Structure 1
Amino acid sequence: MTSVEAWLNANGLSLPSQADALEVAIAGALMLLALALGVFAGRALGVRAGQLWKTHVAHHGEGLWERMPAIIRHGVTALAAAIVMSAYPWSPWGGLPIGLTLGSAAAMVAHQILRGLGIPRWASWLVSGILLVALFSRAVGGLDAITATLDGVGVDVGKRRLSLLAITSALLVIVIIVAIVRLTNRIVSHAIARTSTLDATQKLLGQKLATIAIVIAAFLFSIDLLGIDLTAFAVFSGAMGLAVGFGLQKTVGNLIAGIILLMDRSIKPGDVIVVGDSFGWVNKIGVRAVSVITRDGKEHLIPNENLMTQEVENWSFSNRNVRVRIPVRIGYDCDLRLAQELMLKAATESPRVLDSPSPNVWLTGFGVNGVEHEILAWISDPESGVGNVKSDVLNRLWWKFKEARIALPFAQHDIHVKEWPGRPGEAPMPMSGDQPQN
């Protein structure tokens, strides 16, 4: 007996027999076949499955479709290895290559899916490591020993035992529940977005309500799965009620106001609104605030509650047409009719000014320095700005007035001096035009 055999016998182990070696060889060959099958499936179906997922399930923020070839490759390998493991009562030596292949493939599938759903890297590697150890131990017949060891390390807290096994199981359940919630939310949101019978606001409201329902269902399911007694939440719910009443009142108010805005449809994504000093178009209606993008490219986050309690100008609530007022002043000695025709022509030639309703020119008053006019022009894209329309019309009008020699008035003041002060002891100097007296 060699030293290796003696050490193995001392630890309750033995070298594989000829039958065990043959079993290891057969299992290894089958695992190589499973790996080859996975590579073939990933190349043949991965890209196509990724495109189908992107088209029918995913949205612009989805990350699973890019990982679909890897998911299919490792998934087919894990499925083939699981079939091989279940088809025959393998010995621990025969289960060694099967458990290693099955655990590694399943771990890679979990890692790709969790990372594609935006789960943090540490959580995805944690779940992958647990799957690798569990499946490998299950294949070689050592899972019970690992669970017993993990359960033995812990303390008793009341009627419950807090052990490494309980903590590991809780972390695993939480990560899986979060992944399922994100996947379900993305699938449901994409399905609602593809519905042709709903408008944009109704789709957004449906997505928000579906997200809330999914999160609540997942929370209740995870509590039941972890075996948590609901009576333990009695004190927590009372404290939560006080927190909502004092500290989270604004947060809850903004949440309810956001739901009301979506149901009311008074403000929708794409609307052009004015709230106080903020002017821009609505980019997104969130749970807490509405995102308004201004013409300067700045994004203002306005709390939903402010839109419910303050006065809001919605330029595109029932009609997207907005009238722009452009004041113009001309001199009193100008051809009034010609100037008005040029104003109307300058507004008509501006590319963003609508032909219907047609622009118009009003004479608004006779001012101190000139005749006051106002050009009234209609546009249908207020989100592109109003000041640039005024600038374009006035630029065109400037050159037309130059060609027609129509003057633009400017402020002038005439000063009449009755007499100049003279030197001390001298008579005041006469003004021009005064006749000296003898």
Structure 2
Amino acid sequence: MNEVKTQIAEAVRLLNDIGFDIGNYHISVWGALRIVIVLVLVLAIARLGSKLARRTFSHITSLDGAQQLLGEKLVSIAVWALAILIGIDVLGISLTALTVFSGAFGLAIGFGLQKTFGNLIAGIILLMDRSIKPGDVIAVNDGKGASFGEVKKIGIRAVSVTTRDNREYLIPNENLMTQQVENWSYSSREVAINIPVGVAYGSDLELVEKLLLEAVASTPRALSFPSPGVLLSAFGPSSIDMTIVVWIDDPEAGVGNVRSDVLWKVWRLFKENGVQIPFPQQDVNIKDGAGLRVLADALNRRVAPPAQ
């Protein structure tokens, strides 16, 4: 055992002799190797601590998803900070040098990493006040209009939102803190869907209402409470405009498929019961005049049969 220690000490001495001096500092192969070893150990310990924190909080069933994620992130930050401090202590970096480095690091944060740390703090605040949490359905603006998506993950820098067409948006946490966000499942997961339908004038509106409610009742995702409804919206130029109000409690599964399902059933029921959906209509009134009579005479002469 003593022989092994002696060999290790000799190897360290040889590696320490290979180097050069800069002022009062001696830079050697052993010094560089020790820094690499400490950095690898710090990263390994920090990653292991983060994984243990994730597994530990995932098994605490008394906390919901947002609280588990918040606890995991706070513990991970603490583990990383502790690992970095231990690494600094092992490397023997003086507090004076650390003070100078922290000042330069703070200046770098102020100019270059301000948004990154702002997003980190914003993500922690979102998890603390639980205004947005994994599983929520929020409105996302993709530049072509607002579409909704489900929050899959709240990361250190951004929130991952997946829409129904499987597009994944990475929205900076700070944007969700400073801009208006439409959360469909913040206090309740019940969402109303308005489906417009037009019927011909002369239709039996009581029968139409009965058929519309029957179509909603046969839709699997439509809720019976809050109860669906039918509203008379307007007397349009070509049809009587009505609106079906359907309630669902699973907005993450989409609303377009519910609207399509209801309309398919409405179409079949209308055909079975003789209810007509009118085409757009427009009346054209032609006033009699001298010019119109001249045109009519000219047309009659063109189509008149030749004299025998």
C-alpha contact (below 8 Å) 1:254/1:289 kept by paired residues: yes
C-alpha contact (below 8 Å) 1:420/1:430 kept by paired residues: no
C-alpha contact (below 8 Å) 1:419/1:430 kept by paired residues: no
In structure 2, how many angstroms separate the alpha carbons of the residues matched to 1:332 and 1:150? 96
* Residue in structure 1 matched with residue 306 of structure 2 by the alignment: none
SS of the residue corresponding to residue 196 of structure 2 reads: strand
Deviations 1:334-387 (A, max 9, x none): 121111110000011001101222211111221111111111111111001011
In structure 2, how many angstroms separate the alpha carbons of the residues matched to 1:253 and 1:197? 30
C-alpha contact (below 8 Å) 1:280/1:295 kept by paired residues: yes
- Structure 1 unpaired stretches of 5+: 1-85, 93-137, 432-438
SS of the residue corresponding to residue 362 of structure 1 reads: strand
In structure 1, how many angstroms separate the alpha carbons of the residues matched to 2:76 and 2:10? 41
Pairs within 5 Å for 1:181-220: 181-220=46-85
Distance apart, 1:194 and its partner CA? 0.8
* Residue in structure 1 matched with residue 277 of structure 2 by the alignment: 408
C-alpha contact (below 8 Å) 2:191/2:249 kept by paired residues: yes
Cα distance change on mapping 1:242 and 1:173 into 2, 3 Å:
closer
Distance apart, 1:421 and its partner CA? 7.6
In structure 2, how many angstroms separate the alpha carbons of the residues matched to 1:407 and 1:314? 38
* Residue in structure 2 matched with residue 257 of structure 1 by the alignment: 122
SS of the residue corresponding to residue 296 of structure 2 reads: coil
* Residue in structure 1 matched with residue 303 of structure 2 by the alignment: none
* Residue in structure 1 matched with residue 106 of structure 2 by the alignment: 241
Residue identity (%): 50
More helix by share: 1
Distance apart, 1:189 and its partner CA? 1.9
Deviations 1:210-257 (A, max 9, x none): 111011111111000011112113333222222222222222211111
Pairs within 5 Å for 1:251-290: 251-276=116-141, 277-290=146-159
Number of residue pairs aligned between Structure 1 and Structure 2: 295
C-alpha contact (below 8 Å) 2:120/2:173 kept by paired residues: yes
SS of the residue corresponding to residue 60 of structure 2 reads: coil
* Residue in structure 2 matched with residue 318 of structure 1 by the alignment: 187
Cα distance change on mapping 1:208 and 1:421 into 2, 3 Å:
farther
Q: Structure 1 stretch 253-262 or stretch 354-363: which is displaced more?
A: 354-363
CA-atom RMSD in angstroms: 2.2
* Residue in structure 2 matched with residue 293 of structure 1 by the alignment: 162
Q: TM-score by structure 1 length?
A: 0.64
> Which one has the largest radius of gyration?
1
C-alpha contact (below 8 Å) 1:269/1:282 kept by paired residues: yes
Give the letter for the 1:176 counterpart.
Answer: L
Distance apart, 1:169 and its partner CA? 1.6
SS of the residue corresponding to residue 131 of structure 2 reads: coil
In structure 1, how many angstroms separate the alpha carbons of the residues matched to 2:212 and 2:240? 13
The match for 1:348 among 217, 222, 226 is: 217
More strand by share: 2
Pairs within 5 Å for 1:27-426: 138=4, 142-276=7-141, 277-419=146-288
Q: Which has the higher contact order (CA 8 A, sep 6+)?
A: 2
* Residue in structure 1 matched with residue 296 of structure 2 by the alignment: 429
Cα distance change on mapping 1:427 and 1:317 into 2, 3 Å:
closer
SS of the residue corresponding to residue 307 of structure 1 reads: helix
In structure 1, how many angstroms separate the alpha carbons of the residues matched to 2:13 and 2:186? 65
- Structure 2 unpaired stretches of 5+: 299-308
* Residue in structure 2 matched with residue 120 of structure 1 by the alignment: none
